[in-house]
Amino acid sequence: MKIDFYDWELADKVPLKYAVMIARYKRQLLFVKHRERTSWEVPGGHREEGENILAAANRELCEETGANSFQMIPICVYSVESEKHLDYGGLFFADIFELNQTLQYEIETVKGFDSLPESLTYPEIQPRLLEEVLKQRKKVLMQESNLPGPRGNLKRLDTFIDFATAMERQMCLNASKLAEDANDPETFALMCGVAASIAHNCSEQTALAMCYAEHPSWRVREGVCIGFQKAAVKMKPSELLTAMAPLKAGNPFQQRAYVAGLCEPALLNDYIDASVVIDSLYEITMTVFDEADKLTEAQTALRKALGYGWSVAIAASPDYGMKQFETLAEQCKSKHIKWILRNNLKKNRLVKVNADWVAKMTQLV
């Protein structure tokens, strides 16, 4: 059996017999089970005579999954060639937003999976179709990255984190491990994979964070911080701090991920006890920079994060934060700690907290 894929432009030039959908719902891939079979298959079916292929895809998806709100995206034309037949079909990606709980027609069960089910109705065909869709989806992700350019597409990153399946996340991780140029679309894909995997894969988020927090690309390192900030939505504060604790004890790049990940106003104002973070900032600042001279790249990145992180934490807990900041100023002899202090005192958020205190501390350091 031979399976080939073609650009969508071929859809008007060959007889498309089938419409097949790789369907996503709540960050899982949907597979269906026919009433007369025990194996799983992706939604799809025959195109009716005279029916537009997109209409056929919409109809089959509704009939087989109960989807009543979705976006149908054409991916490509595919062909399956055997000794006796050559058949063409349209391959689609269906993003489902709402399912009707009542199933109709010949489908018995609809189920979401994080990976391919063990028992497939068409084991020689369906994995190839899924692989092609994932590849094309990643290609679109990279095209929409806004890279090369001054800013990556953070809105697209947020969408990927919120909706991507485990297999989409893994494809971005696997296919992009060597991406190092921060301005390369491939690096954006890796950033998306890292952030989404940390946000949703609690069992491996610490290991992923420790690995990618010291990645050569700053964009990928930032993905670690964004991932933890997204993970906070469904984790208890104690769970998040436990997951991030190895970063605090790690090398300066890993400590930078800890600082930048937690020093986010939304987290410190409404979620995590800011005093805990302030104590960590004090410990990291003194440990790394008290006797430092010439900084490494990792230490420079950490210093930059501390150069604003203190102000975020103080704004969330002014009394305790200002007290610890004053202690740091009184004890410090390091030019790097003074740089951290001065840069925080330049932040408007601190002026809003206590302008007189900022003026006094500016004179002191």
Q: What is the tens place of the pLDDT at every residue in 12-34?
A: 999 999 999 999 999 999 999 99
Give 233's Cβ-side CA count (13 Å radius).
10
Q: Is residue 146 part of a domain?
A: no
CA 156, CA 135: separation in Å to the nearest integer? 17
What DSSP character marks residue 9?
A: G
Q: Is residue 278 part of a domain?
A: yes
pLDDT band (50, 70, 90) for residue 109? very high
Q: Is residue 266 part of a domain?
A: no
pLDDT band (50, 70, 90) for residue 161? very high
C-alpha closest to that of 187 among 227, 214, 223, 135: 223
pLDDT band (50, 70, 90) for residue 177? low
Instruction: Give the residue from 121, 142, 163 where a domain finishes.
Output: 121
Q: Are 76 and 7 in contact (CB under 8 A)?
A: yes
Residue 308, pLDDT > 80, answer yes
Q: Is residue 163 part of a domain?
A: no
What percent of the chain is modeled with pLDDT above 70? 99
pLDDT of residue 317: 97
Q: Could you tell me the residue range of the domain that residue 50 belongs to?
A: 2-121
Q: Is residue 244 part of a domain?
A: no
Q: Which residue has the higher pLDDT, 95 or 331?
A: 95
CATH code, 9: 3.90.79.10
Q: pLDDT tens-digit profile of 125-146?
A: 999 999 999 999 999 999 999 9
Average pLDDT, the chain: 95
Distance of alpha carbon 116 from its chain centroid, rounded?
21
Instruction: Give the residue from 73, 91, 121 where a domain finishes.
Output: 121
pLDDT of residue 24: 98
Instruction: Give the residue from 87, 106, 121 where a domain finishes.
Output: 121
Q: Is residue 257 part of a domain?
A: no
DSSP state string for 60-84: HHHHHH-EEEEEEEEEEEEEEE-SS
Q: Record the tokens describing residue 75, joined without a space.
A: 């991916």
What percent of the chain is modeled with pLDDT above 90? 88
Q: At what angle do helices 318-331 and 355-364 cross, to 10 degrees?
A: 10
Q: pLDDT tens-digit profile of 193-248?
A: 999 999 998 889 999 999 999 999 999 999 999 999 999 999 999 999 999 999 99
329-338 long-range contacts, Cβ below 8 Å, gap at least 24? Answer: 329/361, 329/364, 329/365, 331/286, 332/290, 333/290, 334/289, 334/290, 334/291, 334/292, 336/289, 336/292, 336/295, 336/299, 336/303, 337/285, 337/286, 337/289, 337/290, 338/365
Q: Is residue 344 part of a domain?
A: yes
Q: Is residue 179 part of a domain?
A: no
pLDDT of residue 303: 98
Q: pLDDT tens-digit profile of 244-254?
A: 999 999 999 99
Residue 285, pLDDT > 90, answer yes
Distance of alpha carbon 63 from its chain centroid, rounded?
32
pLDDT of residue 178: 61
Task: Give the total number of structural domains in the chain.
Answer: 2
Residue 9: CB atoms within 10 A of its CB come to: 9
